[in-house]
Amino acid sequence: MSRHSQLTVRCPNCLSKIPVQKNSAEAVCGKCGIGYRICWPSPSQPMIRGLLAPISPRESE
């Protein structure tokens, strides 16, 4: 499998790769626990669309 066909997105917070289930609309970073909404510009390419929920200041500390 080539590097580009892996179903992953990069966490904008910790920059780790997050695996994404095919067609899934959500993904959670295994390292920092932040949840993201996912969209699919193509069936083999997931992309972060936004946050699942706003992060409260307390969580960010």
Partner 1 sequence: MPTALESRIAYIDLSKKKVNVKTTPREWVKQLLGGRGVSALILYGLLKSEVDPLSPENVLVISIGLMAGIPLPSARVNIGAKSPLTGAIGSSNCGGHFAPEMRRAGFDHIVIVGRAEEPTYLWISDGTIEFRRATQLWGLDTVEAQEAIKDELGDHSAQSLVIGPAGENLVRYANVRTGVKSSAGRTGMGAVMGSKNLKAVTVRGSWDIEFAYPDKVLDLCIRFNENLRKTRFFTVMQVYGTMHIFSYTNTAGIVRVKNSQSNQLFPSDNIEAEAVRPYSVGHEGCYGCPIQCRHRYVVESPRYGLIYDEGPEYTSQGCWGSMMAINSTECMLVCNHLVNRLGLDTLETGSMIAWAIEIFEKGLIDEKATDGMTLRWGSPEIVYELIEKIAYRKGFGAILAEGPKRAIEKLGSATAYYNMNVKGMSWLQTEDRAIPSFVLGVCVSTRGADHLRSRPAIDLFGLPKEFLEKLYGAPMTSDYTSYEGKERMVWGNELEYAVIDSLGLCKFACSHFITPHSIYTDTFNSYQELSELIYYVTGLEVTGDQLKTCGERIYTLERMFNLREGFTRKDDYPPQRYFDEPLPSGLPIVRGKRMDREKYEKLLDAYYTLHGWDSNGVPKAETLRRLGLTEEGIKALVGEVFG
Residues that bind partner 1 (CB under 8 A): 3-4, 10, 12-15, 32, 34, 36, 39, 41-42, 45, 47-51, 54-55, 57, 59-61
Cβ atoms of residues 9 and 48 within 8 Å: yes
Binds 29, which of partner 1, Zn ion, none (CB < 5 to 8 A, cut-off by type)? Answer: Zn ion
Exposure b/e, 25-44, CB count within 10 A at least 16 = b: eebebeeeebebebebeeee
Q: Does 20 bind Zn ion (CB under 5 A)?
A: no
Q: Footprint of Zn ion on residues 31-50 (CB under 5 A)?
A: 31-32
Q: Does 29 bind Zn ion (CB under 5 A)?
A: yes
CA dist., res. 30 & res. 32, Å (int): 6
